[in-house]
Amino acid sequence: MTPSAILLVSCPDAKGEVASIADFVYRHGGNILHADEHADADSGLFLMRVEFDPKDFDVDLAQKDLADFRKHFSPIAERFKMNWRLALSSRRPRMIIFVSRYDHCLVDLLYRHQSGELACEIPLIISNHPDNQRIADFYKVPYSVVSITKENKQEAENKIESLIQGYRADFMVLARYMQIFSSDFVNRYPQRIINIHHGFLPAFMGAKPYHQAFERGVKLIGATSHYVTEVLDDGPIIEQDVVRVSHRDTVEDLIRKGRDLEQVVLSRAVRLHVENRILLYGNKTVVF
């Protein structure tokens, strides 16, 4: 694929924003490949994703702090009170996977990464159990076991923090990781921890959502991938999907059907994050 630059913008809705961004890219030699926008009437917010070919772009995008781009784009950003960030498709973000004993989401992510579906690096897998070491070995990914108990939770989180820093992770994915991080830990990584919940949020939060769904006799079950916040299962939703169930299905049937959903929904969410297709406002996401 041709390397591209992705500009993500959110600001108060006003006339001229799309034209100003398009003119900026054109004047500096860029060629727009994709442009998507959304105006939220309730909040008065405008959100936009612009992907362009930077081959002939006359602004230096190689600087880590984007100083040259910032200098040229700032007049537009200040005029429209824009929050913005620029990403390059050629840069592969580093993703650490967290897992407990269930391996279906882990295996799916590793397979899709190996097959080229996920344009990221996986430098490490962290688990609170040794069970999935063999899978990590098969895919040649380092595997670190960090046991967590009520008594050592702070010490364990400190060790995990050291691993995240040491492996230079850009974001983390909880692939059925059955531990709850402290608020202090979560708040250090806003919009950088993606979770898969085996339920169709906001219904059936917390533990054993399939059991809850079975008790209510639902006709659909779902899975939800979301960004982690300090409130359990309440972060901005990235991706969801559902499958029909019937009165003939047991709890075990719901769990089996749900696992198929979980791995697909999580992989979709990771891909959307890696491809810089998600913009947040409030507790919502806009996915382009």
d(CA 178, CA 32): 43
| 98-116 pLDDT, tens digit each | 999 999 999 999 999 999 9
Measured CA angle at 256 (ends 217, 240), to 5 deg: 75
Residue 198 forms beta bridges with which residues?
none
Which one-letter DSSP state was computed for residue 75? H
Is the fold of 5-88 the same as that of 94-287? Answer: no
CATH superfamily of 94-287: Formyl transferase, N-terminal domain (3.40.50.170)
| 137-152 pLDDT, tens digit each | 999 999 999 999 888 9
In 3D, which of 287, 269, 275, 198 has the Cα closest to residue 227?
Answer: 269
261-285 residues labelled b (16+ CB within 10 A) or e (exposed): bbbbbbbbbbbbbbbbbbbbeeeeb
pLDDT band at 62 (very low <50, low <70, confident <90, very high): confident
Question: In this predicted structure, what is the pLDDT of residue 198?
Answer: 87
Question: In this predicted structure, what is the pLDDT of residue 232?
Answer: 85
Using DSSP's 3-state secondary structure scheme, residue 158 falls into: helix
Which one-letter DSSP state was computed for residue 245? -
d(CA 261, CA 53): 35
Please identify which of the residues 68, 184, 233, 260 carries the catalytic annotation: 233
- Cβ(111)–Cβ(121) below 8 Å: no
In 3D, which of 144, 183, 148 has the Cα closest to residue 164?
Answer: 144
| 272-286 pLDDT, tens digit each | 999 999 999 989 999
pLDDT band at 1 (very low <50, low <70, confident <90, very high): low
- The residue length of the chain stands at 288
| 213-230 pLDDT, tens digit each | 888 999 999 999 999 999
Long-range contacts (CB closer than 8 Å, 24 or more residues apart) made by 111-115: 112/267, 112/271, 114/139
- Cβ(6)–Cβ(87) below 8 Å: yes
Q: Which residue has the tokens 């006003």?
A: 14
Known catalytic membership, residue 233: yes
Q: Class for domain 5-88, per CATH?
A: alpha beta
88-116 residues labelled b (16+ CB within 10 A) or e (exposed): ebeeebbbbbbbbebbebbbbbbebbeee
pLDDT band at 157 (very low <50, low <70, confident <90, very high): very high
Q: How many CA atoms lie within 13 A of 76 on its CB side?
A: 19
Question: In this predicted structure, what is the pLDDT of residue 22?
Answer: 98
Question: Would you list the domain boundaries of the chain?
Answer: 5-88, 94-287
Alpha helices in the chain (DSSP H): 17-27, 67-79, 104-114, 133-138, 153-166, 183-187, 209-216, 251-274
d(CA 109, CA 141): 12
pLDDT band at 242 (very low <50, low <70, confident <90, very high): very high
